[in-house]
Amino acid sequence: MEKKKIMVVCSAGMSTSLLVSNMEKAAKSKQLPFEIFALSGSDVNTYLEEKEIDVMLLGPQVRFMKKQFAPLLEPKGIPVEVISMKDYGLMDGESVLAWADKLMENQ
């Protein structure tokens, strides 16, 4: 089974590292085939020129970037959504992972 790719975007690419780590732990415990990684908003376009993703999640601090990325990804059926402040603040990797999985199911 091919891994589904979840991109988590923040301003510098570092504030989401703990959330990504928690999401990876949740995926591993449930044996879900996900590749989860964080990028800074400035690196997204370069990444997308070369590789595909299945969902883009934006940190609350970069919610304004949805206007930039949604027109590029939504025509391809790739959801772009903002992580809830609550889940982000709690670094609730399990909840964010479940939500991302649901977003990908609706593609």
Residues designated as active site: 10
Cβ contacts of residue 56 below 8 Å, gap of 6+?
Answer: 7, 9, 44, 69, 73, 78, 79, 80, 81
Distance of CA 62 to the CA centre of its chain: 12
